[in-house]
Amino acid sequence: MDEQLFVYFIRHGMTRGNLLKQYTGWSNPPLLPEEHHRLKHAAAPVVDEVWCSDLKRATETAEILFPDASLKQSWMLREMHFGDFEGKDYQELKHQARYQYWLDNMKERGPANGETLVDVHYRIQHGWERIKHTKNKRVAVVTHSGWIREWCNEYVPDHSLTYLWQIPYGAGILAIFQKNGGEWECRSLQEAPLMEKKSGY
């Protein structure tokens, strides 16, 4: 049988900023208290290795879902840095010309003191380069919805997952890889919803 690698890309749990629909980016809020309870009752996938963004909302999610794992944290797995837009929501920004300009030119232009999409893809490439050399076959990556979406756009550009624009908190996608010429090639992308633990577990 061909050698395979299973990677679960998981979105962190919800924060107050997420609840208020604010750009959170590199800001570092904790999970909402009720998220701890919800995630503790979730059935996490069985994996051999866990990577996570070094931001609190990701590390807390990883610690809850994978309490026995030794986490590998990396700033390269962070969400996009929204610079001066962080902590603000669409309603606050929609009439600002600089905000509209950024929405139209996100790839090459970043918010003041923030990142462009090119910057984000640079981090994704370097982060993924470290992860994919694992000797394990089942890996979890607890990160951010923007990171997951742009990873898919970088490595599986012909994907058709509209789900990527509305990944539930604590859920994600499962990517299945096979070796092709010595390199891991993604052969399948599928939704990985957050499931409740069965009674008694």
DSSP string spanning 84-115? Answer: GGTT-BHHHHTT-HHHHHHHHSTTT---TTS-
Q: For residue 57, say whether it is annotated as part of any ligand binding site.
A: yes
Q: Is 79 a catalytic residue?
A: yes
What's the rounded Cα separation, in Å, for the pair 174 and 104? 30
Q: Looking at 35, 60, 79, 86, which residue is catalytic?
A: 79
User: In the prediction, which pLDDT does 145 show?
Assistant: 96
What's the rounded Cα separation, in Å, for the pair 21 and 156? 28
User: In the prediction, which pLDDT does 200 show?
Assistant: 45
What's the rounded Cα separation, in Å, for the pair 184 and 177? 6
pLDDT digits (tens, 9 = 90+) for 40-82: 999 999 999 999 999 999 999 999 999 999 999 999 999 999 9
What's the rounded Cα separation, in Å, for the pair 84 and 197? 40
pLDDT digits (tens, 9 = 90+) for 149-182: 999 999 998 887 777 788 999 999 999 999 988 8
pLDDT digits (tens, 9 = 90+) for 96-116: 999 999 999 988 899 999 999
Q: For residue 12, say whether it is annotated as part of any ligand binding site.
A: yes
Q: For residue 11, say whether it is annotated as part of any ligand binding site.
A: yes
Position 122 pLDDT exceeds 90? yes
User: In the prediction, which pLDDT does 201 show?
Assistant: 45
Q: Is 12 a catalytic residue?
A: yes
In CATH, what number does 4-82+118-179+188-196 get?
3.40.50.1240
Q: For residue 14, say whether it is annotated as part of any ligand binding site.
A: yes
Q: For residue 24, say whether it is annotated as part of any ligand binding site.
A: yes
Q: Do 147 and 78 touch, CB atoms closer than 8 A?
A: yes
Reduced to 3 states (helix: H, G, I; strand: E, B; else coil), residue 143 is strand
